Amino acid sequence: MKETIFREYDIRGIVGSELLIENAYELGRAIALYLTQLNCSVKKIAVGMDVREHSPEIKEEICRSLIDSGLDVIFIGVCTSPMMYFATYTMAVDGGIMVTASHNPKEYNGLKISLGTTSLWGRQIKEIAKLYIENQHRIAESPGHYSEHFIKDEYIAWHVEKFSHLKGMDMPAVIDCGNGSAALVIPDIVRAMEWENMHLLCSTVDPTFPNHEADPTVAKNMEDVKHTVQTTNAIVGVGFDGDADRMGAMTKEGNLVAGDKLIALFAEPMIKQHPGMTVVYNVVCSGGLTELLESWGAQTVITPVGHSIIEESMHKHHALLGGETSCHFFFSDRHFGYDDGIYAMFRLFELLVQSKKSLSELLKVFPRKVTSPEFRIPCDESNKYAMVQEMKGLFYQKKDVKILAIDGVRVATDYGWGIIRASNTQPVLSIRFEANNERDLQRIKEEFISVLSRYFSEAYLREQLQIIHEENA
């Protein structure tokens, strides 16, 4: 196993070169030891897996390692990551392990780990890495037991009950399951909810992801949704990533909606019901989101990027809503508080039905900004954090800027802002710009090119940072 698989929020890598199935057993032994070090009463672990080709083999090795470490395993079936989280809240288990690589391409796989209902991340993942490298494991007096309890039906029934007011909804919509884990449950949900006007795309499981990668925040992956929503009676389109913890949305006009704008739409009716409520979101989100939420009287908390960080911050600040531009959405209002793309879809449909407005009409509330997409520049995995740290020092030398350095470096000026940070899930640098007009957006871009050109050729940067902006109507 390469050490690079031990990432900020999970364990993830290319199977065969970075993440080795033949070493998954030893990795599972290290995880079992760490969980019992954190809580000596840990005994029973829920294990789920996504639809990737190598997930069954990894699942077998992880289950075997947990059992040999004296822990009981309940296999909850092939499922979405949120279904594993659901199990930690609704079943008598002490934690959960999900075999998945989320939205990464088909050659990747990995593990998401929870102790109780709390996801492990950051330093905790590094501690697991240390135990694995040192080949440490738990010596058990007797092996644990294996059982199966497939949670799919309970998960679907919970949503059908919570959204019974949407049963029989005649709103036409497009749902793209991406041939991923969402395809396991969305067709059954549509039948159970008696939604007769749904256009389902990629609704069969296929671990080769033959139609497109399962990442609904990338425009090319939503082309089928765009075509269908524009050529049918559908008024909105949604798509899911590989493990269905994220939901992307598209307007009737075929415009992909950024996650920060959806946070605002989710927040507005909630703030009316819970005045002064707290909303948590990450440092990449638009300044327009802060302006809007504060004008509505909400309390705002800005965090580094990362679903585990959002979830932890929500607990700390008793927030009812959290989210990211990457379309992770967290509701503590009428939900458990973890990110679930399918639950977010229900909340979006509910919002459209109750408001009697289109998604485009609802988006008009968002302040006018000119915002670039998220640019992702390939960068060596072992060097990306050091590179960002050096750039941070260069930006600190500039005058008339405000620096927010909780995750990478966000540089704010009188005319806009830009951010550069090392991705925690891929070997890339993530960059985004925002300003009040296109001229100022270009100024911000040039400021960043002047710093980045120390590491990349200017021609390459201009090609990679070609600005395709989105502007609110």
The catalytic site residues sit at 102
Contact 432, 372 (CB under 8 A): yes
**268-275 long-range Cβ contacts below 8 angstroms, 24+ apart:** 268/296, 268/365, 269/351, 269/354, 270/320, 270/321, 270/333, 271/296, 271/297, 271/298, 274/320, 274/333
**Residue 375 dihedral angles phi and psi, to the nearest 5°:** -90, 140
Please, what's the b/e burial string for 299-311 (b: 16 or more CB within 10 A of its CB; e: otherwise)? Answer: ebbbbbbbbbbbb
Residue 354's alpha-carbon distances to 169, 350, 361, in angstroms, are 11, 6, 13
Contact 330, 220 (CB under 8 A): no
Alpha-carbon span 82 to 245, nearest angstrom: 6
**297 torsion bin: left (phi>0), alpha (psi -120 to 50), beta (else):** left
The contacts of residue 355 (CB under 8 Å, 6+ apart) are: 362
Contact 387, 430 (CB under 8 A): no
* DSSP assignment of 79-106: --HHHHHHHHHHSS-SEEEEE--TTS-T
Alpha-carbon span 310 to 407, nearest angstrom: 13
DSSP 6: B
Please tell me whether residue 339 adopts helix, strand or coil conformation.
Answer: strand
Name residue 21's amino acid.
I
Strand (E) positions, 205-305? Answer: 236-240, 247-251, 256-257, 278-282, 299-303
Sign of CA dihedral 348, 303, 89, 148: positive
